Amino acid sequence: MKQGSRARALWTAFIAVPLLFAAIAGLQARIDSQTRSVAQQEDELLLRSPALIQKMSLGYDPLLADIYWTRAVQYFGARFGTKDAKYELLWPLLDICTTLDPKMIVAYRFGAVFLSERGTGPGRADLAVMLVKRGIAANPDEWRLNIDLGFLYYWRLKDYQASAAALYEGSKKPGAPPWMAVMAARVAQKGGSLDTSRMIWSGIYESNRDPKIRAQALQTMQGLKAEEDEAQLDALAAEYQKRFGQLPSSMDELRSAGLLPAVPVDPLGYPYVFGPDGKAALNPDSPVVIPKEMGSASGH
């Protein structure tokens, strides 16, 4: 009985493997054709089900994954830069190759770039995010994928909080460079989340041994605290204006009106002042520096 089972398995392999590779060859020929209509193109991916292909591969998963990845690269390259090019098969190809080989990091990283390209590319940042998240789930220690995810959120979707979260999570992984956490804090600040940014900078200060990075973290935390204080003082100045018809010219006026218990000072002990525009500001003598909003991506 066992011999019969083995014989049937071998016979199935002899039949299935050639058929599978014949299907792949057919797919290659069809992808290379440049004269197809969109409707034809949608029907010409012979094997769209990654689960089915995986069952038919009979242990040849990595080899088939390489074939599908090669086809994805060729498919994208043949269309990129062409006006009104269609990319209906790009996601299915990437879906199949990463299902066959979940450890194929290059497919996640470059596949996300292909999918998210705008203009003459697909412009599908949503699918790119889905692909990279799949890669992170299958390769939890691969911090480079978190960089890719942070990039997609930052540049393609303008979701700065999600970008900061992706970068900060990646910064905790083995081998991740220290600048990832720094970038996460700056991105959070750009997104307007001072609390998140301060939390990340605090983590950098507590966990890092590099004196330069610790000094930067401390300086930035002080600046963010001052920025938060100024916003609160501006709110009190607006309340003062409602009561008295004019903005306060000094912190003493806020204190005299009962809006402050004492003249507030910055993290280094220097009293805040009001500028000529009526906005709260750092004392000119204070060494505290409020960090500027990050306007461009890091070169890392």
Confidence band for 33, pLDDT divided at 50, 70 and 90: low
Q: What angle do CA 168, 90, 52 make, to 5 degrees?
A: 95
Residues 90-115 have a mean pLDDT of: 93
The residue count of the chain comes to 300
Q: What is the pLDDT of residue 5?
A: 55
User: Partners of 185 in the beta sheet?
Assistant: none
Question: To the nearest whole number, what is the mean pLDDT of the chain?
Answer: 81
Instruction: For 248-275, write each residue's pLDDT tens digit.
Output: 999 999 999 999 999 999 999 999 999 8
Q: What is the pLDDT of residue 27?
A: 56
**pTM over 0.85, yes/no:** no
Q: Is the pLDDT of residue 105 over 80?
A: yes
Confidence band for 297, pLDDT divided at 50, 70 and 90: very low
d(CA 195, CA 124): 31
99 is written with which tokens?
A: 């299902």
